[in-house]
Amino acid sequence: MRTIFLVGTVFCGSTAIARELARDDRIDTMGEIDRLSSFRPWSGRERDRVVDRCRICGMAGREHECPIFDESLIQEATAGGLREGYAAVRRRFAAPVAIDGSKNPAWVRQVAMSTSGLDTAAIILARLPWAFAYSHSGASGEALAASAAVWRDTYQEALQVVADLGIPCLVIRYEDFILNRKAGLEAVSRLLGFTPEATRPLAVGLHHAVGGNLGAFLGMDGIDEAAVRAAQVEPGELFKLEAQQLRSDELTLVERWRGELNVAEFSAILRVPGVWEMGRLLGFDLVHHLTR
C-alpha cells in the first residue's frame, strides 16, 4: 500500500486534483489528514482549524456518521503516537494508493520520519505565484508581496523536504494539469507506475475525506448545493464561482486573477526576492502565462 502526499500551498487546487485522481478505483483520497485533532501536536494546526469529521458526510443535506472517519477511528488515532495514529487512518482506505492532501511540508517530514516502512511518494502541486497571492491576500488581508513570500517559502520547504527524505516526487503545475489533463495524468502515471483511469463516477472520486475545498464537492450525489451555500463556512472560504464553472474546464477556473491584478501588482509580486527563480525551478513559463 502506497501513500502519496500532495505538498504545496493552500489554494493550490489539491482537492480538485485529488478528486480527479481518485476516479480510479485503485486510488483513494484521504483528504487533509493533518487537520485531525489527534495530529495537532505534529501538524502545527491551530485549534480552530482541526476537525474530527468527514467533510463530505457532514455537508448540508447529507449529515450522517462517516463509515471511515467515525468515533472508533478517532479513538484509535488518539490512543498512540503519530506512527500508530497515522497507520490507523491509512488502514481505513483499501485502495493500493491513498492520497494525503494535507499539503503541509512539515507534516510530510513528521509522518515519513515517524512511520517506518511507509511506502511514500510526493506530488508537489504548484500554482502560479500571482494566482496564489491573489487568493491568499483576499483571504488573509495580507499584502500581495507578503503572500508571494509565503508562496516562495512554502515551495522552498517542500523541495527541501523531499530532497532530505529522498522520496520519489513529481512537480505538477495546477494550471497545466487543468488545461491539459491528459499530459498531467501521463506525468502522474510515471510516479504511480500505472495510468489513472476513470473507473468511478466523478461524484464518487471523493467519497470520504477530511478537509478540502467545499466547492470541489458540489455536484456530488446527495449534496444539497443550496444548503451548502447557505451554511456558515470557515473563515476565508468563499464561493467565487458558480457550481457549473467549478466543474468545468474553462480558463476562469484557474485564472480568476485575470482582470483583477494590474501591472503594478504583478510587478510587486515578481519583485519579491526568489519568486521568479522559484517559479522557474518549478517549471513555470511565467512570461507565457502573463501574455496568454
pLDDT digit string, tens, across residues 199-227: 877 655 567 888 887 767 766 666 776 77
Which 8-state DSSP code applies to residue 51?
Answer: B
Band (241; pLDDT cuts 50, 70, 90): very low
**Predicted pLDDT at 204:** 56
3-state SS class at 199: coil
* In the predicted structure, residue 8 carries a pLDDT above the cut 90: yes
Cut 0.75: pTM above it = yes
* Cell 486510488 belongs to residue: 27
Give 134's contacts (C-beta < 8 A, 6+ positions apart).
144, 256, 257, 260, 261
Percent of the chain topping pLDDT 70: 84
* In the predicted structure, residue 71 carries a pLDDT above the cut 50: yes
Band (236; pLDDT cuts 50, 70, 90): very low
Band (274; pLDDT cuts 50, 70, 90): very high
**Predicted pLDDT at 160:** 96
Alpha helix segments (H runs only) across the chain: 14-21, 40-43, 71-79, 82-91, 105-114, 129-140, 144-165, 174-179, 181-192, 225-230, 243-246, 263-270, 275-281, 286-291
**Predicted pLDDT at 205:** 52
* In the predicted structure, residue 1 carries a pLDDT above the cut 80: yes
**Predicted pLDDT at 179:** 77
Cα dihedral 241/287/134/274 (nearest 10): 150
* In the predicted structure, residue 244 carries a pLDDT above the cut 50: no
* In the predicted structure, residue 239 carries a pLDDT above the cut 60: no
Phi/psi class of residue 76: alpha, beta or left (left: φ > 0; alpha: ψ in -120 to 50)? alpha
* In the predicted structure, residue 17 carries a pLDDT above the cut 50: yes
CA–CA distance from 142 to each of 8, 83, 100, 227, 278 (Å)? 19, 36, 28, 31, 21
DSSP β-ladder status, 119-126 and 97-103: unpaired
* In the predicted structure, residue 107 carries a pLDDT above the cut 80: yes
Would you tell me how many other CB atoms lie within 10 Å of the CB of residue 73? 20
* In the predicted structure, residue 270 carries a pLDDT above the cut 60: yes
**Predicted pLDDT at 151:** 97
Q: What is the mean pLDDT of the chain?
A: 84
Q: What is the mean pLDDT of residues 2-7?
A: 95
Residue-range domains of the chain with CATH: 2-291 (3.40.50.300)
The C-alpha cell that represents 151 in the structure block: 508562496
Cβ-defined contacts of 181-185 (< 8 Å, 24+):
181/20, 181/249
Which 8-state DSSP code applies to residue 98?
Answer: E
The C-alpha cell that represents 93 in the structure block: 482506505
Per-residue model confidence as pLDDT tens digits over 127-183: 999 999 998 998 899 999 999 999 999 999 999 999 999 999 999 998 888 778 888
Q: How far apart are CA 138 and CA 11, in angstroms?
A: 11
Q: Are 103 and 213 in contact (CB under 8 A)?
A: no
* Cell 509565503 belongs to residue: 150
**222 or 88, greater pLDDT:** 88
* In the predicted structure, residue 80 carries a pLDDT above the cut 80: yes
